[in-house]
Amino acid sequence: MNPQINSEEQQLIDLMDSARRVFVFCGAGVSAESGVPTFRGMGGLWEGHRVEDVATPEAFQRDPVTVWRFYAARQAGLMGVLPNPAHQVLAAMERHYPAFLLVSQNVDNLHERAGSHRLVKLHGSLMETRCTAHGTVTTIDAPVPLPTLERGELPRCPEGGLLRPNVVWFGEWLDPDHLARIEQFLQAAEREPPGSLLLLSIGTSGQVSGGYGFLELVTALGGHTVEVNPEPTPFSKVVDLALRSPAGELLERVWPQVVQQRLQCVVAQKEP
């Protein structure tokens, strides 16, 4: 056993080695090592506003300039950061497991920039706008300029429709197509050998997503559940394995061991 790997990490490696269907559910903690502040890290605040009070349709209705300043500042913050090893390993895992789905609560674009494609952005994307008049979604490659917002000029579509950030605000429903895709991916485990399904909950406090029920569904389907988070969360008591480590640092160390172990298994099966 690799001296750098402790017994809990070896358990994770064994679970990732034997998994045939991998569901990764992640939150702001995955981007923490890229320097993107987590919501709990910001104390859930922005300029003294509670995030839950700014990231709502009511706030946008009441004061769209302030809400756009909140998002334009985060868009600008995204320009200076890069995917970290957690994003890179998650993108590598997608290429390794035939059945793999990454469901992220993060609105940053670091999963995409690391090469993830089998990806559900459950809460939308910071670098996309949606027209409130026509519903058109547009990807932007630069932040909405703060000076225009300071002048009270709001981003609009060519026909003058007010643009909003293409994110899910508090009080808004999740995209039913996203939920259907997740449900279909997880339910497929029913037709596979027990223990094939593995859920990795990485870098989420569960304070928002606790109600989404993915952990309960995986458990009901006989899947294994693992949490990666330096801090305890409501999930910690119910998962099979909880690793108190930063995601990037841990995944960068364990992933090569998983690939090596799976390769040895394939070679062993082929030996006469």
Residue of the chain from 170, 192, 236, 253 that contacts ligand BV8 (CB under 6 A): 170
Half-sphere exposure for 11 (CA within 13 Å, toward CB): 13
Determine whether 202 is exposed, middle or buried from the number of CB atoms within 10 Å of its CB (0-12, 13-18, 19+). buried
How many residues contact ligand BV8, by CB under 6 A? Answer: 37
Residue 230 as a binder of ligand BV8 (CB under 6 A): the answer is: yes
Residue 203 as a binder of ligand BV8 (CB under 6 A): the answer is: yes
Residue 171 as a binder of ligand BV8 (CB under 6 A): the answer is: yes
Residue 174 as a binder of ligand BV8 (CB under 6 A): the answer is: yes
Within 17-76, the residues that bind ligand BV8 by CB under 6 A are: 27-29, 32-33, 38-40, 52, 55
Nearer to ligand BV8, 92 or 228 (CB): 228
Catalytic status, residue 123 = yes
67-72: long-range pairs with CB below 8 Å, 24+: 67/165, 68/144, 68/149, 68/154, 68/155, 68/165, 69/146, 69/149, 69/150, 70/46, 71/126, 71/144, 71/165, 71/167, 72/143, 72/144, 72/145, 72/146, 72/149
Options 123, 134, 178, 224, the catalytic residue: 123
| Residues contributing to the site for ligand BV8 (CB under 6 A) | 27-29, 32-33, 38-40, 52, 55, 105, 107, 123-124, 167-174, 179, 203-205, 207-208, 211-212, 228-231, 233, 246-247
Q: Which residues are catalytic?
A: 123
